[in-house]
Amino acid sequence: MGLLLKSLVPFVGLILALWFYSKDDLKPEMLKEKRVIVTGASTGIGEQMAYHLAWMGAHILVTARTEAKLQKVVTQCLELGAASAHYVNGSMEDPTLADDVVKRAKQLWGGLDMLILNHISPTYLKYFDGDVEHIRKLLEVNFLSYVAMTLSALPMLKESGGSILVVSSTAGKFAIPFVAPYSATKFALDGFFSSLRQELIIEKVNVSITLCVLGHIDTETAKKTVGHVFWLPPAPKEECALEIIKGGALRKRELYYQYFAVRTSLLIRDWAPEYLDSRTRNHFIVENVKRS
Ligand SMILES: NC(=O)C1=CN([C@@H]2O[C@H](COP(=O)(O)OP(=O)(O)OC[C@H]3O[C@@H](n4cnc5c(N)ncnc54)[C@H](OP(=O)(O)O)[C@@H]3O)[C@@H](O)[C@H]2O)C=CC1
Ligand SMILES: C[C@H](CCC(=O)O)[C@H]1CC[C@H]2[C@@H]3C(=O)C[C@@H]4C[C@H](O)CC[C@]4(C)[C@H]3CC[C@]12C
């Protein structure tokens, strides 16, 4: 026992030292003059990411459906110090939009350094009611359009040694009730982009893919959708947005926000899945959840 402890202590010390010294930090200069597309940037976390990129001096192209909101985001980005700011409005239900957005970036800047995939189609939080059309729509907007944007952007990203940031959720890593269609699209993102990352590494392509696994965040949409059914407090969208950019700029494989809560849940998921299921169910006020 004594021998085991004696050999374990230096080993644990070494691991801790390695972890401490390997902790990189984001320097705003890393994003200066970088050419970045942010999808779903008219509100919420996407809008906040655009503002962070702006004060760091990036070139920004934002997209979403609502033109009036995008115009305001662009104006604000320019005031904050963006190298340039533009928008393309349209719905990712339209299969041609992904390519149009990427083409606009090429036309504006001649290249691309970072692709931030963040948009989602409005979703509900309720018992699954058999609405297969809703699943189809969410797969189109939350998943297939991410794939389409990636395909269009890859040649430019290969040229620049750029990065792809995929905004996902704890609902794309473990079982959360009342979001079945949405959860399916987020699990699909993990499968697709984790496999693609492997291929890029095998082919020695210098494009990083960061999967961002987020917990509950205080966006207006989240407040409206889950305020009355989920009793754990949400984390701030501004900080969340900065962590996502940091994770992408540092070319992390995965990013967790809120770090401790998400990491703990993932550890429990692999060792005691039934316990995680029941702990997650207990975070919901089920009597407030709609049935249809
Ligand atoms: N908030 C949370 O608690 C959590 C969020 N996440 C993830 O974070 C990301 C951002 O979420 P959040 O900021 O809360 O979401 P919001 O609802 O605030 O923003 C969604 C964005 O997507 C755009 N959008 C909606 N439909 C379409 C469409 N058909 N085509 C193109 N754009 C569209 C919206 O703009 P417009 O309506 O103008 O088109 C908006 O800009 C998402 O990927 C989400 O899954 C993950 C875990 C938790
Ligand atoms: C509250 C959940 C987090 C539970 C945990 O233990 O980590 C959230 C995980 C998934 C979230 C939903 C989601 O990502 C889809 C929608 C996104 C919208 O912008 C806000 C509403 C959502 C239904 C959102 C609500 C919180 C979660 C269920």
Phi then psi for residue 142, to 5 deg, are -85, -20
- Indicate whether 12 belongs to any domain: no
- Indicate whether 20 belongs to any domain: no
Looking at residue 252, what is its pLDDT? 98
CA of 258 to the centre of ligand 2 (A): 13
- Indicate whether 97 belongs to any domain: yes
Looking at residue 24, what is its pLDDT? 72
Can you tell me the distance from the alpha carbon of 186 to that of 214, in angstroms, rounded to the nearest whole number? 11
Q: Which atom of ligand 2 is nearest to the CA of 222?
A: 20
- Indicate whether 163 belongs to any domain: yes
**Would you say the CB of residue 142 lies under 6 angstroms from ligand 2?**
no
CA of 216 to the centre of ligand 2 (A): 5
C-alpha pair distances (Å), 116 with each of 38, 97, 146, 163, 164: 5, 15, 10, 8, 6
**Would you say the CB of residue 222 lies under 6 angstroms from ligand 1?**
yes
pLDDT bracket for residue 139 (50, 70, 90): very high
Residue 152 has pLDDT above 80, yes or no: yes
Residue 133 has pLDDT above 80, yes or no: yes
CATH of the domain at 98: 3.40.50.720
Tally the domains of the chain. 1
**Would you say the CB of residue 145 lies under 6 angstroms from ligand 1?**
no
pLDDT > 70: percent of the chain:
92
**Would you say the CB of residue 118 lies under 6 angstroms from ligand 2?**
no
Looking at residue 12, what is its pLDDT? 66
Residue 285 has pLDDT above 90, yes or no: yes
pLDDT bracket for residue 291 (50, 70, 90): confident
Phi then psi for residue 269, to 5 deg, are -55, -40
- Indicate whether 18 belongs to any domain: no
Over residues 272-283, the pLDDT tens digits come to 999 999 999 999
The residues with which 200 forms a beta bridge, in sequence order, are: none
Looking at residue 290, what is its pLDDT? 82
Over residues 2-59, the pLDDT tens digits come to 666 666 766 665 565 555 545 579 999 999 999 999 999 999 999 999 999 999 999 9
**Would you say the CB of residue 46 lies under 6 angstroms from ligand 1?**
yes
CA of 146 to the centre of ligand 1 (A): 13
Residue 219 has pLDDT above 80, yes or no: yes
Is 124 part of the annotated catalytic residue set? no
Residue 169 has pLDDT above 60, yes or no: yes
**Would you say the CB of residue 219 lies under 6 angstroms from ligand 2?**
yes
- Indicate whether 248 belongs to any domain: yes
Average pLDDT, the chain: 94
- The interface predicted TM-score (ipTM) is 0.96
Please tell me the residue having the least CA distance from ligand 1 atom 1.
Answer: 217
pLDDT > 90: percent of the chain:
88
Q: What average pLDDT does range 218-225 have in this prediction?
A: 96
CA of 232 to the centre of ligand 2 (A): 11
pTM score, whole prediction: 0.93
Residue 84 has pLDDT above 60, yes or no: yes
* Cis geometry, peptide bond prior to residue 48 (ω within 30 degrees of 0): no
Over residues 85-122, the pLDDT tens digits come to 999 999 999 999 999 999 999 999 999 999 999 999 99
Can you tell me the distance from the alpha carbon of 230 to that of 276, in angstroms, rounded to the nearest whole number? 16
* Domain boundaries, position 255: 28-288
Can you tell me the distance from the alpha carbon of 196 to that of 126, in angstroms, rounded to the nearest whole number? 32
Which candidate in 51, 182, 256, 257 is catalytic?
182
Q: Which atom of ligand 1 is nearest to the CA of 45?
A: 13
Looking at residue 231, what is its pLDDT? 86
- Three-state secondary structure along 166-196? EEEEHHHCCCCCCCHHHHHHHHHHHHHHHHH
**Would you say the CB of residue 183 lies under 6 angstroms from ligand 1?**
no
Between 9-18, 190-199, 244-253, the lowest mean confidence (pLDDT) is in: 9-18
**Would you say the CB of residue 217 lies under 6 angstroms from ligand 2?**
no
Residue 63 has pLDDT above 80, yes or no: yes
Rg of the chain (C-alpha set) = 20
CA of 289 to the centre of ligand 2 (A): 14
Q: What average pLDDT does range 246-256 have in this prediction?
A: 98
- Indicate whether 234 belongs to any domain: yes
Q: Which atom of ligand 1 is nearest to the CA of 119?
A: 22
CA of 11 to the centre of ligand 1 (A): 44
Looking at residue 13, what is its pLDDT? 58
- Indicate whether 260 belongs to any domain: yes
Looking at residue 19, what is its pLDDT? 57
